[in-house]
Amino acid sequence: MLINIHSWMEDKLEKMKDLLKLSVGSEFDEYAKKNLRKRLYELKNADIEYLSDLEYFINGKKYSSLIEAFCEKEEIEKMKIRFLNPNLEGDWNFSKPVKELKEKEGKGVCETFEYDPTSLDKWSQANHPNMEKVMVRAFIEDFYVPVSIKTKSEYHHAEELPRQYDPHLKKFQDLWKDVRNGVLPLVIRLCIYTKNERYPLLLDTTYDKLRPHHLGSITRVKRVDREPLDYRDFDKVYAWLDLPLLPKKILELLFETQEMTVFDVADCLNSDKKVAENNLGSLQTKGFVDKKKDINYEINMEKIKEVAKRLG
């Protein structure tokens, strides 16, 4: 088993190193390589029940690895993703079962299946795929940007390095340029917009599998329908926000639902009430959440729209 892990690690490291070396002025030295290896071990040990395997067609060529495609293709004109071997027991909530996605210049067609997480037979309506015209945007949700030992030494040992990359919601073609310029994507969030809804798809580029949504196991909430532009505004802000995962999960939960009590939030996220309260208070201080009564909270869509407008 140790041999397999070592082989997997070194193969991933080599592919990712080749990609990072493409950027001008790359800081990928031995120190950066050590830190990347650490990130890969963390991913290897993460307890994730993936939803499907991924197969890519970039400019017509088939790839089993998206990292390999990033290395080979300087730019992308069109993309097709097939979602293979779906995990029927997985947590598909807040996402959507997809058979195939075709995309070109931000527009595309998506084949999806109906899925009801609240039903005893969640797949009862999934006899035939539905074909939908969609708009596709994306951002890099989890990433690694190499920092050399020389750059690290310029900072005090207790001083945090500044964020090396600011994710923004954009066309996949523009995201491709970011990657070729030195941003290693570990998880890419595709935001699929239809006329009436939006569903995210989380592409794990290390394993080339579809991840469940961070809220995927939650079924005990009533989701609210938003206006199409509200989805895009929220995704712009969510992509850009530099916050730990828990407050971002809380923010997204409030966006997807109506007003919630602190007890509801804690219960949904399997969190302590005090932890939920502290994170809600932090989001409230930043203006993204409004407190109603004593224990009720809701998302502040005016603030979301204001920040989204600034982001462009």
**Are 206 and 293 part of one and the same domain?**
no
* pLDDT for the residue 251: 98
Shared domain check, 190 and 235: no
Task: Select from 277, 227, 232 the least CA-distant residue to 250.
Answer: 277
238, 298: one domain:
yes
Range of the domain at 275: 225-312
Per-residue pLDDT of the chain (312 residues; tens, 9 = 90+): 444 667 777 888 999 999 999 998 889 999 999 999 999 988 888 889 999 999 999 999 999 999 999 999 999 999 999 999 999 999 999 999 999 999 999 999 999 998 888 887 888 888 888 999 999 999 999 999 999 999 998 887 656 788 899 999 999 999 999 999 999 999 999 999 999 899 999 999 999 999 999 999 998 788 899 999 999 999 999 999 999 999 999 999 999 998 999 999 999 999 999 999 999 999 999 999 999 888 899 999 999 999 999 999
Number of domains making up the chain: 2
Distance CA 44, CA 39 (A): 9
Strands 198-204, 260-261: pairing is: unpaired
Same domain for 175 and 244, yes or no, is no
Q: What is the pLDDT of residue 4?
A: 65
Shared-domain flag, residues 269 and 208: no
pLDDT of residue 3: 45
| Residue at which a domain ends, from 190, 219, 248 | 219
164, 191, 219 - which closes a domain: 219
Residues 250, 171, single domain; the answer is no
Report the pLDDT value the prediction gives residue 1, as an integer from 0 to 100.
40
Burial 259-276 (b: 16+ CB within 10 A, else e): ebbbebbbbbbebeeeeb
Nearest residue to 284 (alpha-carbon basis) of 302, 269, 298? 298
Tell me, what's the pLDDT at 213? 97
Give the CB-side neighbour count of residue 290, counting CA atoms within 13 A: 12
**Of 193, 219, 245, which residue is a domain's last?**
219
The upper half-sphere exposure of residue 102, i.e. CA atoms within 13 Å in the direction of its Cβ, equals 6
Identify whether residues 208 and 229 lie together within a single domain: no
d(CA 52, CA 29): 34
* Tokens 């204001």 -> residue: 306
- Provide the CATH number for the domain around residue 309: 1.10.10.10
Q: For 191, list phi and psi in degrees, rounded to 5.
A: -110, 115
> Cβ distance 55 to 64 under 8 Å?
yes
Same domain, 138 and 198: yes
232 and 162 within one domain: no
252 and 113 together in one domain? no
Give the whole-angstrom CA distance, residue 47 versus residue 101: 27
Q: Are residues 108 and 248 in the same domain?
A: no
User: At which residue do the structure tokens 């919601």 appear?
Assistant: 169
Return the pLDDT at 5. Answer: 63
Based on the fold, state whether residues 282 and 240 are members of the same structural domain.
Answer: yes
Instruction: Determine the pLDDT at residue 113.
Output: 93
Give the model's pLDDT for residue 8.
Answer: 75
The letter for the amino acid at 291 is K
Tokens of 195: 């006329």
| Angle 74-79-85 from CA coordinates, rounded to 5° | 125
